[in-house]
């Protein structure tokens, strides 16, 4: 795991410089970023170092911001249901503010969606040798 010093494009560039400096044999085949801005920075750093995306390394972001689809290599990203998140958060806040004695806290789980674009490709695994037995 590599920590980004900031959750923005520059943080992604700085964090991925160490990946770009790795020998090809030890470089990861993919990077999952905590948000799309970091992923865009990783994409920029890989491009600057002539590391092909997705041929040499796949990149996945999180949030699915508008710029993810508009990048030079459109980014694969994890999309959350933003409108549903906002409506549910407002509803929970209003319920909490009502201070009704019958109010119960509850946990809400949202289903994310993987939006596959051109920054990823399947990993080709080496063929397994047949079992000699």
Say if residues 31 and 61 touch (Cβ distance below 8 Å): no
Confidence of residue 130 (pLDDT cuts 50, 70, 90): confident
Higher pLDDT pick, 36 / 123: 36
**Structure tokens, 47:** 């491009």
Q: Where are the domains of the chain?
A: 9-80
pLDDT on residue 123? 74
Radius of gyration of the chain measured on its C-alpha atoms: 20
Confidence of residue 101 (pLDDT cuts 50, 70, 90): confident
pTM of the entire structure? Answer: 0.83
pLDDT on residue 102? 76
pLDDT on residue 86? 95
In terms of Cα–Cα distance, which of 77, 80, 79 is closest to 59?
A: 77
Q: How far is CA 10 from the centre of its chain?
A: 16
When the candidates are 3.90.1150.10, 3.40.50.2300, 2.60.120.10, 3.40.50.300, the CATH number that belongs to 9-80 is 3.40.50.2300
pLDDT on residue 133? 67
* Tens-digit pLDDT profile for residues 55-66: 999 999 999 999
Which residues, at least 6 apart from 89, have a Cβ–Cβ distance to it below 8 Å? none
Evaluate if residue 125 carries a pLDDT over 70: no
In terms of Cα–Cα distance, which of 85, 126, 130, 90 is closest to 108?
A: 85
* Tens-digit pLDDT profile for residues 41-60: 999 999 999 999 999 999 99
Confidence of residue 2 (pLDDT cuts 50, 70, 90): very high
Average pLDDT over residues 95-109: 82
């Amino acid at each position: 795991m590599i920590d980004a010093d900031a959750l923005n494009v520059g943080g992604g560039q700085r964090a991925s410089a160490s990946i770009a400096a790795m020998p090809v044999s030890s470089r990861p085949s993919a990077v999952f970023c905590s948000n799309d801005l970091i992923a865009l920075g990783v994409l920029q750093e890989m491009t600057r170092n002539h590391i092909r995306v997705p041929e040499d390394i796949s990149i996945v972001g999180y949030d699915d911001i508008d710029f993810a689809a508009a990048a030079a290599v459109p980014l694969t990203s994890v999309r959350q249901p933003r409108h549903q998140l906002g409506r549910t958060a407002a509803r929970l806040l209003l319920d909490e503010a009502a201070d009704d004695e019958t109010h119960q806290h509850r946990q809400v789980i949202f289903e994310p969606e993987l939006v596959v674009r051109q920054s990823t490709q399947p990993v080709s695994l080496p063929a397994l040798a047949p079992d000699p037995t």
